[in-house]
Amino acid sequence: MPEIKELVKGLADKYGRARESLMPILQGVVLENNFVSDIAMTEIARELDIATAEVYGTATFYSFLDTEPRGKFVIRVCKTITCDMHGKKRVIEKIEDLLKIKMGETTQDKKFTLLTTNCLGWCHQGPVMLVNSTPYPSLDENKVTEIIMEYMSK
Amino acid sequence: MAEKIKINIDGIALEIEKGTTILDAAKSVNVKIPSLCYHEDLCVAGNCRVCVVEVEGRKNLVASCAAPAEDGMVVKTTTPKVRSARTDIISLLVSEHNTQCTTCYRSTNCELQSLASEYNVDSERYLSVLKPNIKVDKSSYSIEKDDSKCVRCQRCVRTCAELQHVNAITVAHKGKDMKISTFMDLPMNDVVCVNCGQCVTHCPTGALTERRYYHEIWDAIGDPDKHVVINTAPSVRVALGEMLGFPVGTRVTGKMVTALKKIGFNSVLDTDFTADLTIIEEGHEFLDRVTRALKNGEKVALPMITSCSPGWVKFIEHMYPEHLDHLSTCKSPQQMFGALTKTFYAEKMGIDPSKIVSVAAMPCAAKKFEANRPEMKSSGYQDVDAGLTTREIGHMIKQSGLDFVNLPDSKFDSYMGESSGAAVIFGATGGVMEAALRTVYEVVTGREVPFKNLAITPVRGLEGIKEATIKLEKVLPAYSFLEGVEVKVAIAHGLKNARTIMDQIKDGKSPYHFIEIMACPGGCIGGGGQPIPTNDEIRKKRIAAIYAEDEGMPIRKSHEVPEIKKIYESYLIKPLGHKSHELLHTHYKKRNRY
Ligand code: SF4
Ligand code: SF4
Ligand code: SF4
Ligand code: FES
Ligand code: FES
């Protein structure tokens, strides 16, 4: 996969090849590909001259560094207690219904992935979700439908 | 002079150096604080909390392995609060554990088991939250990984990173999902692991063990059709006793031979024989390389590096494949032994080699992988059928019901049972170098090495990288080109130190001619197949036993062993000769680094 090689090389040129560049490089790959593949991790190990296991250990520690293929839009609904009490369950059911996927899955067309996340620090306006890096607070079934529809047309 | 501070532990007043942890301070006055994630060889992790103690004036309990003692501190190690916290912690560990002690290889030698038994953990205190369907990874020839017995102390990860610079295993995921994992959770056999087994000897439980082959060997012994031969490595005889009732550092050579004979091995031979043979072959290979470089001006790979440690060999194959020509082409003593067992020995004894089962008793986990390398078939059969660890041999002896402590001594059988003190010291870091120098110096000068009692002390000891320079003077006419040459040697043990040596070579800055590298800290006496635990105190005692064994040998130099002389006269003809190349030398292969 020459594109991944190029991408990782470019990121390593940009951030440097010291061990502390591992995080920004991983983030850079996720930004571009929505996840870090095994091939990408191997390339990162090669560029930084560290073990592949170290890259894997770091990537799997962070929920936002996905190591499985994800859709173009990754939806993460907060599952922590305040959002839970404010009705995250109904929000999730609505999204599942709209996208015809279950929690944790990706749509056939690779456009959407539905995940949960831990507290996003928006508890005062729960339930809340993230689509890629944009937060959407104070959700209810209508509001979430609107948002998803808009992404569907993108 | 470091600053001193005063503290009090369980009513004992003591003065210690500033910076000492509470755990170490307690140890110095024989107060035992239990621990789990702590290991003397490794950096502090402080993740298990088993070692908590109460410090007067502090509300929270303190992890004693991670907390430095402070002046005036009053520490209590067994208050009700401490006991109850420890019991809870141990109970929680047990609650996620596959507690199958009756069928576990580490039973009676497991830190979790002893903690649980010390604290008498009640099985009804917590529900089992053991994750279902955990599969044991048995893909590797050397290492078995069973996550259901892992307490997530990360000792293995720290070992593989800090001591070995391999990083084959890592901490993956977090929280309740956190686990010890290879890259992408691939099978151990498919990742960059050198099979050294150091993670196994540093694991407190049965989560990491060596792959066992001794059941097959019991079967072979019971088969009247088979001729089962075992050879025992030098470092096994100074460590085996630890499993069988002797204090650390006891030499049990004679009892070990008796036990193996009683167990039913048809012939009990000595790997030291092929260690001596290695010295002859490797010594001549070194002289050959030096001659070609210095006399003929050829381009030859120098420094030459030893190749007897299969963990080290796999390390260089993965990490520095472009420098494989620096490795001696000599097989390890185990593999030389295997090749000769099914050729020379079979011929001499009039036994059909297809009926021979050749077993090696080794301090090592990597020897299992080495025995299975596809190129190790120069006898026409698999040269070594099984490499067993010292621990497996200990188990076999226990199973045999022998009263090991009171066994009489016996001598190794023949052929291939004779050896020198130079071969015994292969078991300690620096030993191969010392043995080689004892022979090479004499070949070149006609005189013994100029060290009192043949003890080349600069190459001995536990320092990570050791160096020595030996000046060649009044050399024999055949080696006149070496007159006045200062031979520079280095010794590294533990792959972290091997990496330092290799980086020098890579940068073209290596000042040495000859280098000994062993994968395991301390050399084979600290090998991944040795009795558990291993730490520097234990390594030192095993090393002392090795040198005592050497001094007690009537012959101290490889080239003076009668059986070695004979095998060259009647079979091998000459070092580096045709037969040697066929049976005793090998080649290496490039492996993936990432
Ligand atoms: S690892 Fe220890 S506690 Fe666990 S089953 Fe084995 S002996 Fe028992
Ligand atoms: S056997 Fe050695 S290289 Fe392999 S995981 Fe264990 S410590 Fe690391
Ligand atoms: S495998 Fe052993 S050493 Fe590694 S974390 Fe688990 S229990 Fe600790
Ligand atoms: S609980 Fe959902 S944002 Fe804090
Ligand atoms: S031994 Fe101190 S925290 Fe584990």
**Got the DSSP string for B460-502?**
-SS-SEEEEEEE--S--GGGGGGTT-EEEEEEEESHHHHHHHH
Among candidate residues B328, B542, B332, B279, the one with its CA nearest the CA of residue B428: B542
Give the nearest chain B residue to A68 (CA atoms).
B184
Model pLDDT for residues B490-531, shown as the tens digit of each residue:
999 999 999 999 999 999 999 999 999 999 999 999 999 999
The confidence band for A1, taking pLDDT boundaries of 50, 70 and 90, is low
Would you say the CB of residue A117 lies under 6 angstroms from ligand 4?
no
Q: Does the structure show a pLDDT above 70 at B255?
A: yes
| Assigned token pair, B535 | 């730490």
CATH topology of domain A73-152: Glutaredoxin (3.40.30)
Q: What are phi and psi of A74, to 5 degrees?
A: -100, 115
The pLDDT of residue A154 is 87
Question: Which residue has the least CA distance to atom 8 on ligand 2?
Answer: B160
The confidence band for B125, taking pLDDT boundaries of 50, 70 and 90, is confident
Phi-psi region of A16 (alpha: psi -120 to 50; beta: other; left: phi over 0): left
Chain B residues with CB-CB distance to A60 below 8 A:
172-174, 181
Q: How far is the CA of B371 from the centre of ligand 2 (A)?
A: 17
Model pLDDT for residues A102-144, shown as the tens digit of each residue:
999 999 999 999 999 999 999 999 899 999 999 999 999 999 9
Q: Does the structure show a pLDDT above 80 at B409?
A: yes
Q: How far is the CA of A26 from the centre of ligand 3 (A)?
A: 27
Rounded Cα–Cα distance for residues B179 and B176 (Å): 8
Ligand showing the shortest atom-to-Cα distance for residue A78: 4
Phi-psi region of B428 (alpha: psi -120 to 50; beta: other; left: phi over 0): beta
User: Can you name the residues that pair with B141 across neighbouring β-strands?
Assistant: none
The pLDDT of residue B2 is 80
User: CB–CB of B278/B263 below 8 Å?
Assistant: no
The pLDDT of residue A104 is 95
| Assigned token pair, B225 | 């059709």
Binary contact (A38, B184; C-beta < 8 A)? yes
Largest CA distance in chain A: 50
Among candidate residues B197, B281, B259, the one with its CA nearest the CA of residue B579: B281
Residue to mutate among B183, B193, B199, B592, with most A CBs inside 10 A, is: B183
Which of B181, B184, B192 lies nearest to residue A51, judging by beta carbons? Answer: B192
The pLDDT of residue B1 is 59
Binary contact (A51, B181; C-beta < 8 A)? no
Give the start-to-end residue ranges of the domains of chain A.
Answer: 2-61, 73-152
Binary contact (A60, B172; C-beta < 8 A)? yes
* Portion of chain B with pLDDT greater than 70, in percent: 100
State the CATH architecture for B93-210. Answer: 2-Layer Sandwich (3.30)
Binary contact (B172, A57; C-beta < 8 A)? yes
- Catalytic residue ranges of B: 282, 285, 308, 328, 367, 370, 375, 524
Would you say the CB of residue B46 lies under 6 angstroms from ligand 5?
yes
Model pLDDT for residues B80-119, shown as the tens digit of each residue:
999 999 999 999 999 999 999 999 999 999 999 999 999 9
Q: What is the pTM of this model?
A: 0.96
Binary contact (B183, A61; C-beta < 8 A)? no
Rounded Cα–Cα distance for residues B253 and B393 (Å): 13
Would you say the CB of residue B36 lies under 6 angstroms from ligand 5?
yes
Give the start-to-end residue ranges of the domains of chain B.
Answer: 4-78, 93-210, 225-273+334-406, 277-331+419-584
**Which residues have C-beta within 8 Å of that of residue B527, sequence separation ≥ 6?**
B197, B201, B235, B362, B363, B364, B365, B390, B520
Chain A residues with CB-CB distance to B594 below 8 A:
42, 45-46, 51-52
Binary contact (A56, B594; C-beta < 8 A)? no
Chain A residues with CB-CB distance to B318 below 8 A:
none
Q: Does the structure show a pLDDT above 70 at B567?
A: yes
Pocket test for ligand 4, best of A122, A124, A130, A139 (most atoms within 8 A of CB): A122
Which of A45, A57, A60 lies nearest to residue B594, judging by beta carbons? Answer: A45
Which of A41, A42, A51 lies nearest to residue B167, judging by beta carbons? Answer: A51
**What dotted CATH number matches B4-78?**
3.10.20.740
Residue that has been written with the tokens 């006891």 in this structure? B250
Q: Do domains B225-273+334-406 and B277-331+419-584 have the same CATH topology?
A: no
Average pLDDT over chain B, rounded to an integer: 97
Does the ipTM surpass 0.90? yes
Q: What's the gap in Å between the CA of B80 and the closest CA on chain A?
A: 35
Q: What's the gap in Å between the CA of A69 and the closest CA on chain B?
A: 14
Which of B168, B173, B593 lies nearest to residue A60, judging by beta carbons? Answer: B173
Model pLDDT for residues A24-34, shown as the tens digit of each residue:
999 999 999 99
State the CATH architecture for B277-331+419-584. Answer: 3-Layer(aba) Sandwich (3.40)
**What dotted CATH number matches B225-273+334-406?**
3.40.50.1780
Q: What are phi and psi of B96, to 5 degrees?
A: -105, 15
